[in-house]
Amino acid sequence: MKTFIEYLKLMRIHHYIKNVLIFLPLIFSGKLLDINLTFITLIGAISFSIMCSAIYIINDIADCKEDRKNERKKNRPIASGAISIKKAGILAVILILTSTILNIYISNKQITETPLLSFSVLCGYLLMNIAYSLKLKHIPIIDITILAFGFVFRVIYGATITGILISNWLYLTVLVFSFYMGLGKRRNELKQNGSEGRKVLERYSENFLNNNMYMYMTLGIVFYSLWCIDINSAINSFINVLYTVPIVMIICMKYNMTIEGKSSGDPVDVIFSDKILLALILIYSIIMAAILYM
């Protein structure tokens, strides 16, 4: 049982929550109640989640020597010796193959003209993250860009498996908020551990990360507002979508307050460590669902 738990820790199951982004094109297009598209998206989310686990394992294998010296990361399954590098590598290969099989399955179910496009996105995500694990995470700006594009890939993947076009404003909103969260993660790593945790942190300063973080947050609110104006004319609702903008602004403020504390800055940790922030996100989700589907 203990070994099983270590494998679950290695796969970072709790990070699967990020893959909710795969559902965004489906949800915001108003097609969530389409059983076929929802089924395809669900299988796609499972496929993407499994691929994410494989990438986390590859990253942990690449980082195991450094992780053993890090107070916060030394208890990770590979760094602590709970799981050998060989066994972790075998699991990563199995997960990649499983993800590929699931993606081929949904490709056969897709009604789009280019069913293999989703597989290309999945492969692109894998290759980008392998490059990140082996080299690119040590290059300033590039490391944050890859963190941000990890979120964008999820939305694009959701669009390719359903054949739903992503609004330009929605794409930009996800992109800039992704940079905002990536910068926040690096800022807190630097703030709490200095440059000991990551080599790339030697090239950053708190001032630089703070300034860019809040610039992207501002852009995110602007682009989200423009998306609301754009989508409002496309849906038949008695509630104006722009009414959700203040909620998004409050969520951003609460997120900022949380990462100013002792948070690691990781978006998943930030959200699940703050009940008020979780409640605000839930309120936003309920209001948006009412606007789109009632």
Query: Each residue of 86-118: pLDDT tens digit?
Result: 999 999 999 999 999 999 888 777 655 566 788
Show the tokens assigned to 212. Answer: 């860019």
Task: Indicate left, alpha or beta for 140 from its phi (over 0: left) and psi (-120 to 50: alpha).
Answer: beta
Q: pLDDT value at position 245? A: 95
Answer whether 118's CB lies under 8 Å from 99's CB: no
How distant, in Å, are the alpha carbons of 12, 49, 141, 236, 262 from that of 17?
A: 10, 9, 25, 30, 22
Mean pLDDT of 135-159: 94
- Provide the residue type at 225 as one letter: S
Q: What is the pLDDT of residue 65?
A: 80
At residue 77 the predicted structure's pLDDT band, cuts being 50, 70 and 90, is confident
Instruction: Band the pLDDT of 1: cuts 50, 70, 90.
Output: low
Q: What is the pTM of this model?
A: 0.91
Mean pLDDT across the chain: 89
Question: Sign of the CA dihedral 71, 127, 28, 243?
Answer: positive
| pLDDT given at position 234 | 67
Q: What is the pLDDT of residues 22-58, one digit of tens each?
A: 999 999 988 998 999 999 999 999 999 999 999 999 9
Please state, for a pLDDT cut of 70, what percent of the chain lies above it: 94
The pLDDT, as a whole number, for residue 111 is 59
pLDDT of 276 strictly over 90: yes
Q: What is the rounded distance in angstroms from the CA atom of residue 239 to the CA atom of residue 236?
A: 9
The DSSP call for residue 165 is P
Give the CA dihedral 172, 190, 264, 87, nearest 10 degrees.
90
Is 159 in contact with 165 (CB distance < 8 Å)? yes
Tokens of residue 263, six digits: 């948070």
Question: Quick check: 236 pLDDT over 80?
Answer: no
Please report, as a single letter, which amino acid is at residue 128: M
Residue 266 pLDDT greater than 90, yes or no: no
